[in-house]
Structure 1
Amino acid sequence: MATSLRVLVHGGGIGGLTLATALARSGHTVEVAELRGELDALGVGIIQPSNALHVMREIGVLDACLAEGFEWEVLTICDPAGGTLAKIPQPRMDGAPANNGIPRPALARVLGAAATAAGAVIRFGTTITELAADDDGVDVTLSDGSAGRWDVVVGFDGIGSPLRTRLYGDRYRPEYTGFANWRVTVPRQSGVEGVVMSTGNQAAKALLTPITGDLMYLGAVFAEAEDFRPDPERAHEQLAERLAGFAGPVAEALTHVTDPAAVVHSRISQVTVEEPWHVGRVVLAGDAAHASTPHLAQGAAMAVEDALVLARSLDAAGSVPEALQTWEERRRPRAMFVQALSRAVLKQETGTPTTAEEDELLKVGIPGAAHVLVKPY
């Protein structure tokens, strides 16, 4: 657009900070309302596949991400004993590595610094308390008492998005899949030069993901009751019990899991907003609009793609409504592909019956999906 826009981003996570950086670098006025008191990202580590790294290059932080993380190119598939079944080279987009593992707190620092350096303002400890939109803008009051009028408000506020509830009520509450993810950071084994995925046993899979030269995380997916929570005193033992049938590098990683507080347990849920992702000038993006299961390691990648395409759409279109329509038409098919295939892989790995449509998606598989997703977004 010919004029600078005022954009409020609700949520200072990976997608929100990426959007703030991209927009501020283009000369727009951007503020981020972040409920936390600082950018203390939860969790352990995250995989940045090539399409996510391509976005990081576009906003100027690729080198910083690679410096903080561990670049890798080959996915190794093992049996429960640790024997190698296959080594699968991973594709890459032009100008970006195949993959990078990175600690979540490190990525939060990189993106927060980039957003601030670009001129975005991050308002910590704040959330939207009042919102009123018309055809020309959105009036917003924040929890710190400040108020302002914005050209666009974007909800990058996660799977439990309060902004989504404001727009659609309870129609799109997170749907629990019946499975949960366990993760814990351990020392990186010298032989773990990329993701090592062991399949079999009673677990859907166990993964080792390098995130620095010295660290990796052990992740595993299990069927869990919706109300299950690990015992705060025994979480490390409960994880070891679930992985008892695994040997090799998974068993070696478990020897380092001695602190129950270090174990991160999260239920795997999904959200699909079937109605438009924008109502007037209020927009939902990332997990707020299309949260997926983690089976393609593409959740954060979809969020940063959403962010960059939205920023570029706002730069190029003649009006805000045109930009938002263009953005959603580009993003919805790709995000829905990731969500549908992720769900199908979860069902396949756990023996849950699949639909005919899911069977067709499974012919693409995880390796095929990687090749699909290195095509331009």
Structure 2
Amino acid sequence: MTPPLRVLVHGGGIGGLTAATALARRGHRVDVVELRDALEALGVGIIQPSNALHVMREIGVLEQCLAAGFEWEVLTICDPAGGILAKIPQPRMDGAPSNNGIPRPALAQVLGEAATAAGATLRFGTTITELADEGEEVAVTLSDGSSERYDLVVGFDGIGSPLRKRLYGEQYAPEYTGFANWRVTLPRSPEVQGVVMSTGNLKAKALLTPIGDDLMYLGSVFAEAEDFRPDPEHAHEQLRERLAGFGGPIAEALAQVTDPAAVVYSRISQVTVEEPWHVGRVVLAGDAAHASTPHLAQGAAMAVEDALVLAQSLDAAETVPAALAAWEERRRPRAMWVQALSRAILKQETGAPTTPEEDELLKVGIPGAAHFLVKPY
């Protein structure tokens, strides 16, 4: 397809900024609109597995990500007391390390600078207020009062995607899984040279993830009522209660958690858009189309894969609709496999009943999934 296309990316998160960079580097004219007032990232840190790092290499920011994070190669599995059960070397894609832990704000800065350097325009405090797909182009009115016509509108606007609601109403609203994630950033212990995961018969999982030379985060997953929220003054104590059965490095890290404001709590939900992810010249990607639980650490990886493959599909097709059809045919099986296995692992680790289909998926396991996901996407 001959550039430049006029592309609007709705959402300036990890997937949206990756898409903006990949598209702008190919000569397309890209606008990114983000409802937040600045380039910031909620949460603590994130794991970039090898397939995500391969995308970072393709858009020219691999070295920046590694410099801002902590590269690691081995997953350590411990029992609840902290005894080491296994050390599992992690696979890698050609030209990319096995894993990188990185603070979310640092990754947002790397990707924002890359998008701007590639020629994309970032507009904050802005969202879509009106949208009409007119066949050959999409007429868009933004909340700042401006109007523009685009060849393509891409929704990387997260699990609560306003663009998804425009296309499908509440039909694909996020589904709460019954579990929530507790996370807190801490000084990195010298022995945490990669992810340290403790699990066992406690129907819970806790892990330590290095995200820099000096930082790591403690994460844990527990069953929580949908309306539960931590007490703002006692969140650290509530986390301690939930992790009371863990010893070893988890207990040592937990002893450092003294500030309730440092505890980040998020419910784990998923989204499965069963209808096409694209309608005309409007397409949903990342969590807007296929949000999954975090149990394979692949949510953001699937989003950045979506972004790069979209750019590649536009390269190869003669029309935008043909590119979107080819993109979805390539992306849906892989993203749905990640979602299904992630949910099955959540159930397995927390003692929830699994289906026969999930039992088959669980035979792959986390190590097997890692080897599968370093295959070309």
Once the two structures are superposed, the pairs formed by residues 52-131 of structure 1 within 5 Å of their partners are 52-131=52-131
User: 1:174 corresponds to which residue?
Assistant: 174
Distance 1:354 1:323 in 2: 37
What secondary structure does 1:122 align onto?
A: strand
What secondary structure does 2:258 align onto?
A: coil
Distance 1:141 1:2 in 2: 26
CA contact (8 A) 2:45 2:102 kept: yes
User: 2:228 corresponds to which residue?
Assistant: 228
User: 2:50 corresponds to which residue?
Assistant: 50
User: 2:323 corresponds to which residue?
Assistant: 323
Tell me which amino acid in the other structure corresponds to 1:324.
L
The alpha carbon displacement at 1:90 in A equals: 0.4
The alpha carbon displacement at 1:135 in A equals: 1.4
Distance 2:245 2:324 in 1: 50
CA contact (8 A) 2:3 2:26 kept: no
CA contact (8 A) 1:203 1:243 kept: no
Tell me which amino acid in the other structure corresponds to 1:43.
G
Distance 1:376 1:220 in 2: 31
Distance 1:131 1:156 in 2: 16
Distance 2:91 2:365 in 1: 14
User: 1:264 corresponds to which residue?
Assistant: 264
Distance 1:215 1:341 in 2: 29
Tell me which amino acid in the other structure corresponds to 2:246.
F
1:26 aligns with 2:17: no
State the TM-score, normalizing by the size of structure 2: 0.99
User: 2:37 corresponds to which residue?
Assistant: 37
User: 1:198 corresponds to which residue?
Assistant: 198
1:155 aligns with 2:155: yes
The alpha carbon displacement at 1:3 in A equals: 3.1
User: 2:338 corresponds to which residue?
Assistant: 338
Tell me which amino acid in the other structure corresponds to 2:43.
G
CA contact (8 A) 1:50 1:96 kept: yes
Distance 1:36 1:46 in 2: 20
The alpha carbon displacement at 1:203 in A equals: 4.6
The alpha carbon displacement at 1:39 in A equals: 1.2
The alpha carbon displacement at 1:201 in A equals: 5.3
What secondary structure does 1:48 align onto?
A: strand
1:216 aligns with 2:216: yes
User: 2:302 corresponds to which residue?
Assistant: 302
User: 2:133 corresponds to which residue?
Assistant: 133
1:281 aligns with 2:281: yes
The alpha carbon displacement at 1:202 in A equals: 3.4
State the TM-score, normalizing by the size of structure 1: 0.99
User: 2:145 corresponds to which residue?
Assistant: 145
Q: Which residues of structure 2 form unaligned runs of 5+?
A: none
What secondary structure does 1:294 align onto?
A: coil
CA contact (8 A) 1:31 1:122 kept: yes
The alpha carbon displacement at 1:101 in A equals: 0.1
Distance 1:48 1:371 in 2: 15
CA contact (8 A) 1:201 1:246 kept: no
